[in-house]
Amino acid sequence: MTEATQDTSFDYTLDERQRSMLDAMGIKMWLPEPEAEAAPQVAAQAPLQAVSTENSEQKQPIAGMNTAQPAIEKIAPISSTAVPMPASIALAPRPSGIEQMDWPTLQSTVSGCQACSLCASRKNTVFGVGQAPADNTQTPQVDWLIIGEAPGENEDIQGEPFVGQAGKLLDNMLAAMKLGINGAGLTRSQGVYIANVLKCRPPANRNPSLEEVAMCEPYLARQIELLRPKIILAMGKFAILSLTGSNDPVGKLRGRVHTLKHASYQAPVIVTYHPAYLLRNLPDKAKAWADLLLAMQTYRELQAGDSSAV
Ligand code: URA
Domain residue ranges of the chain, discontinuous segments joined by +: 16-72, 98-309
Q: Which fold has domain 98-309?
A: Uracil-DNA Glycosylase, subunit E (3.40.470)
- Mean pLDDT, the chain, as a whole number? 81
Ligand 1: distance of its center to the CA of 194 in Å? Answer: 10
Q: Which of 118, 162, 173, 174 to mutate to test the pocket of ligand 1 (most atoms within 8 A of CB)?
A: 162
What's the average model confidence in pLDDT over 76-97? 72
Q: Which of 145, 196, 199 to mutate to test the pocket of ligand 1 (most atoms within 8 A of CB)?
A: 196
Distance of CA 277 from the midpoint of ligand 1 (Å): 11
Q: How confident is the model at residue 165 (pLDDT cuts 50, 70, 90)?
A: very high
- Atom number in ligand 1 closest to CA 160: 6
pLDDT tens for each residue of 40-62: 333 333 322 333 332 222 233 32
Q: Please say if the pLDDT value at position 39 is more than 90.
A: no
Q: Quick one: which atom of ligand 1 is closest to the CA of 161?
A: 6
Tell me the H-state helices in the chain: 16-24, 41-44, 53-57, 103-111, 118-121, 153-158, 165-175, 210-227, 237-244, 250-253, 275-280, 285-309
CA 208 to ligand 1 centroid distance, Å: 12
What residues pair up with 145 in beta bridges, in sequence order?
193, 232
Q: What is the pLDDT of residues 117-141, one digit of tens each?
A: 999 999 999 999 999 998 888 999 9
Structural contact between residues 221 and 264, judged by C-beta atoms closer than 8 angstroms: yes
Q: Which residues line ligand 1 (CB under 6 A)?
A: 148-152, 155, 161-162, 166, 196, 276
Q: Report the percent of the chain where pLDDT is more than 70.
A: 71
A 10 A CB-CB count for 266 gives 13
Within 69-198, residue ranges assigned H as helices are 103-111, 118-121, 153-158, 165-175
